[in-house]
Amino acid sequence: MRIAIFISSHGFGHAARATAIAEALSKRIPNLQFDLLTAVPEWFFKSAHIQFDYHYLDCDPGLKQTNPFDVDLQGSAYALNRLLPFDQIQIKTIAKRLNERRCRLILCDVAVFGIAVAKIARLPSVLVENFTWDWIYHALSPRLPILGHYADILAPLIPQADLHIQTQPVCSPDSRALTVPPVSREPRTERQTTRERLGIDAKKHLIFITLGGVAHDHPYLQHLIDQPGPYYFLVAGAESANRIAHNVHILPAQSTYFHPDLVHSADLVIGKAGYSTLSEVFHAGTRFAYFCRQNNPEMAALVTFLNHTVPGVELDMKTYAHACWLQQLPDLLSLPQADRTGMNNGAEPTADAISSLLQHH
């Protein structure tokens, strides 16, 4: 059986969520094959326990980011102008290709282009989201009115999905949608094994710093090196893997370490409040100190969820570069970890609902 997945290339969070769902589906359906249509680089999916063919497709730019925290609204509008309205010839060509490959269903992580393809291909479609781009663009339109126009183009496609799944924390709840817990990729390595592989002394606190899939600088590295105390800092998102000091290890985005394993092995995660990191921290029960993206409509739902469910605090964005947040480490590490025993990963009910839809088509 083949399923096509259209994935937004806005960061790696959508790809991580889609991968978690694909892995859950693969446990339920023998010999399941996926066609991945996305601009997320192919290497991201190499660690997934799924069988797939990769097709580069820039069908969902989302928002253009200048760094992990700031958005280029004008650049986003230029990208949307090239994309919208969707090219009907391209939609028909892709629909024909998916029919030739005998795809049975189209799954979309926010990328509603896939819903348009499903209609032409006469295939059932599934939309998975915790926000939709029309909602984001409408919220940002007071700052750049043209975004409201692009929101109006995308909005009609959303109710056309045969199955609509919203993953907590949800930004704009839809009573007709199935709501599931946070979706996260499952860790694969025991906490102690990961720490031993990293060469971390058992007496050290592992502090994992991760800011998602957007390239960025690390202006605070010298502060980490100079930080006294029983701390070992693991920093994701560098250009290469390198242990730069006895207590600081930097990793590239394309790392041999599986991101959920690092989250589960950490005593504290410091990072950007983004969907995939939030989901991984939530399921690990790990303490989380986070920076928020200013003027981002998604933040309110994420922060509300974090405040109620995750041990941690919001950090002042002004302290990011010069690492004043290091002074808070003792207090942060004194917070109790959360016990997630018996907690259901949202990928499971999502895969159940998709499997049920397939049985009825």
85-114 average pLDDT score: 98
Q: How far apart are CA 314 and CA 292, in angstroms?
A: 7
- 341/216: higher pLDDT: 341
105-116 average pLDDT score: 98
User: What pLDDT is recorded for position 253?
Assistant: 75
User: What pLDDT is recorded for position 68?
Assistant: 73
The domain segmentation of the chain, as residue ranges, is: 2-184+345-359, 191-333
What integer best gives the mean pLDDT of the chain? 93
CB 109 within 8 A of CB 5: yes
Tell me the pLDDT tens digit for each residue of 36-55.
999 999 999 999 999 999 99
Q: Helix crossing, 347-359 with 13-28: angle to 10°? A: 60
> What does the longest C-alpha to C-alpha distance in the chain come to?
62
80-89 average pLDDT score: 96
155-173 average pLDDT score: 97
- 232/246: higher pLDDT: 232
* Model confidence band, residue 66 (pLDDT cutoffs 50, 70, 90): confident
- 57/236: higher pLDDT: 57
CATH topology for 2-184+345-359 is: Rossmann fold (3.40.50)
User: Are 2-184+345-359 and 191-333 in the same CATH fold?
Assistant: yes
DSSP per residue over 238-266, as a string?
ESS-EEEETTEEEEESS-SS-HHHHHHH-
User: What pLDDT is recorded for position 191?
Assistant: 92
With H, G, I as helix, E, B as strand and everything else as coil, classify residue 113: helix
Q: How far apart are CA 28 and CA 3, in angstroms?
A: 13
With H, G, I as helix, E, B as strand and everything else as coil, classify residue 50: coil
**Homologous superfamily of 191-333:** Glycogen Phosphorylase B; (3.40.50.2000)
Are β-strands 242-245 and 248-252 bridged in parallel, bridged antiparallel, or unpaired?
antiparallel
User: What pLDDT is recorded for position 112?
Assistant: 98
User: What pLDDT is recorded for position 242?
Assistant: 76
The verdict on whether omega for the bond into residue 169 sits within 30 degrees of 0, i.e. cis, is yes
Q: Helix crossing, 299-309 with 275-284: angle to 10°? A: 10
Q: What percent of the chain has pLDDT over 70?
A: 97
Strands (E), 10-162: 33-38, 51-56, 103-109, 125-129
Q: In what order do the strands lie in the sheet with 51-56?
A: 51-56, 33-38, 2-7, 103-109, 125-129, 163-167, 178-180
- 343/182: higher pLDDT: 182
* Virtual torsion, Cα 237, 239, 244, 249, nearest 10 deg: 30
User: What pLDDT is recorded for position 259?
Assistant: 93
CB 130 within 8 A of CB 301: yes
User: What pLDDT is recorded for position 295?
Assistant: 83
Tell me the pLDDT tens digit for each residue of 8-34.
998 899 999 999 999 999 999 999 999
Tell me the pLDDT tens digit for each residue of 111-149.
999 999 999 999 999 999 999 999 999 999 999 999 999
Tell me the pLDDT tens digit for each residue of 190-224.
999 999 999 888 889 999 999 865 556 678 888 99
- Write out the H or E segment, with its range, that includes residue 66: none
- Closest Cα to residue 280, out of 1, 16, 7, 44? 16
User: What pLDDT is recorded for position 213?
Assistant: 58
Tell me the pLDDT tens digit for each residue of 244-282.
788 999 888 788 899 999 999 999 999 989 999 999 999
User: What pLDDT is recorded for position 214?
Assistant: 56
Q: How far apart are CA 233 and CA 74, in angstroms?
A: 36
90-114 average pLDDT score: 98
User: What pLDDT is recorded for position 186?
Assistant: 93
User: What pLDDT is recorded for position 241?
Assistant: 64
DSSP per residue over 281-319, as a string?
HHHHT-EEEEEPPTT-TTHHHHHHHHHHHSSEEEPPGGG
Tell me the pLDDT tens digit for each residue of 283-315.
999 999 999 988 899 999 999 999 999 999 999
Q: 66: buried, middle or exposed (CB in 10 Å: 19+, 13-18, 0-12)?
A: exposed
